[in-house]
Amino acid sequence: MDFLRRAPRVAILSGLFASVLAASLADAAAKPRSILLLPFATADLTRDEQWLGEAVAQSLMLGLVQAPSLVQIDRERLKQIAQPEAWDESATAAAAKALHAEIAIYGEVRRAGAELAIQPRYLELRADRLERVALDVVTFPENALMERLRGIPLAYARALKVPLSDSEAARVQKWASPTTSARAFEAYVRGRLAGYRGNQEGNEAAIELLGKATEIDPQFVVAQHALGVVHQSLGNRWKAAAQFRASTQLDPTYPEPYKALGDLFLTAPRRLFDQAVEAYAKALEIRPFYADAYVGLGDAKASKSDVDGAVAAYQKALSFNPINAKVHVSLGKLYYAEKGLYYESVQAYKKAIDLDPGYLEARMGLAEVYEDKGLYQEAIGEYKKVVEADSKNTGALYNLALVYEKVDPKEAVTLWERYIQLAGSLPSEKDWMDVARLHLRKLKNQLDKSN
């Protein structure tokens, strides 16, 4: 097993982790509710108006993330299920059940003469019962879109009996309408849609559209941050950092760019752990219930061998979001660190996969544990699932070739050749390419001698 491709190991206190995890899960179980936000249907709108259905969803995402008791299911997870032409009640119920959502928000945007009408709806899943609710229709002239979007998340919060302080309600309204320009918001929404494609073409389109949004409204902090996220996904670390810093300067009360900077620091070549801790702490100062920032903080503290600090951060993350698969992956890494707690690690990774079957990092971690314990068939099974889901995942392909060397050298040759073909043009894989070529040459020599 090639540990150079793995995260650093950290000594842990297994008993402490087990008790903390159990306590935090029990404490969190009755608090947050998982919520799935879907694009509103736009059946009778023109092609140029179709973006409005996604616009309502984006507004709700930005607004309701300010509510401490609602945990949004990552939009990326929708890719794991079949996509309907429009999210009606049937498709919404199926998606909610598949993604373990307790609440699913959807609706319709229609044209009513010279005005637009938004019909907000939601489904609430209670055991074997499905509760259907329609909120009051919101009708308004097209030029009043940004103003009227402000009230929709609060209408949902009231219907769902979500407790909000006055300051939280104000933040919900503020971020539900993050720009005064409908043109800028349209470019932002279209950019987000392009980014959801998850490929090079989509990311390049997203950069163009999000850049347009920031040109129309230079104070559009949400678009500035989203542009940085796309740059980060393309590996443009400096451009991403510049966008995130610009976001913090435009509005220091927006926590997402601080969390994003923490992620950049944590994965920097020089491993800037102290800077990462500082960035995550700033994000949490602004939004104390920001579960993903607690995960990052825990990862940073674990990398600094601050076990107690990591435990406290993960405990906080689970208290605010008990369905956070990232926490369980982080725990899985630590359980199998220098103490070699195999069973606890496997259970943590399996819990993450159960929460999010498409979370490939969880499958990679589980496969690495199996591989290190000599359970090669189990490791192969998990690595294959990663490659099947992401054919360009060089890490999984590299590790799969390594495991096959132990069970099927001929198949290993095929996998090394496939890896070399895939990774040959990637600068980040240059050093691993040299290792792969050595493995391939050695295997071919061994097979030639055996023949």
Residue range 329-372, pLDDT digits in tens: 988 888 887 567 899 899 999 999 998 988 999 999 999 999 99
Kindly state the average pLDDT of the residues 293-318: 89
Backbone angles phi, psi at 123, to 5 degrees: -115, 140
Which band of pLDDT confidence, cut at 50, 70 and 90, is reported for residue 431?
Answer: confident
Given a cut of 50, whether residue 21 has pLDDT beyond it is no
Q: Which CATH architecture has domain 32-177?
A: 3-Layer(aba) Sandwich (3.40)
* Predicted local distance difference test score (pLDDT) of residue 25: 39
Work out the average pLDDT over 273-277: 95
Domain boundaries, the chain: 32-177, 342-450
Q: Are β-strands 103-112 and 70-72 bridged in parallel, bridged antiparallel, or unpaired? A: unpaired
Instruction: Output the pLDDT for position 338.
Output: 53
Q: Decide if pLDDT at 436 tops 60.
A: yes
- Fold of the domain spanning 342-450: 1.25.40
**Distance in angstroms (rounded) separating the CA atoms of residues 342 and 375:** 12
Residues present in the chain in total: 451
More confident call, 112 vs 411 = 411
| pTM confidence score | 0.81
The enclosing H or E element of 36 equals: strand 33-37
What is the average pLDDT score of the chain?
Answer: 89
Pairing of strands 70-72, 33-37: parallel
Q: What percent of the chain has pLDDT over 70?
A: 93
pLDDT at 14 over 60: no
Residue that the structure tokens 């230079």 belong to: 218
- Flag whether pLDDT at 203 surpasses 80: yes
Annotate 217-277 with DSSP letters as a single string.
-TT-HHHHHHHHHHHHHTT-HHHHHHHHHHHHHH-TT--HHHHHHHHHHHTSTT--HHHHH
> Which one-letter amino acid corresponds to residue 126?
R
pLDDT tens column, 161-202: 999 999 999 999 999 999 999 999 999 999 999 999 989 999
Q: Do 153 and 172 contact (CB within 8 A), yes or no? A: yes
Higher per-residue pLDDT: 24 or 188:
188
d(CA 291, CA 254): 15
Q: Which residue has the higher pLDDT, 180 or 310?
A: 180
Smallest CA-to-CA distance from 221 within 264, 175, 259 is with 175
What is the pLDDT at residue 198? 85
CA dist 229 and 75 (Å) reads: 15
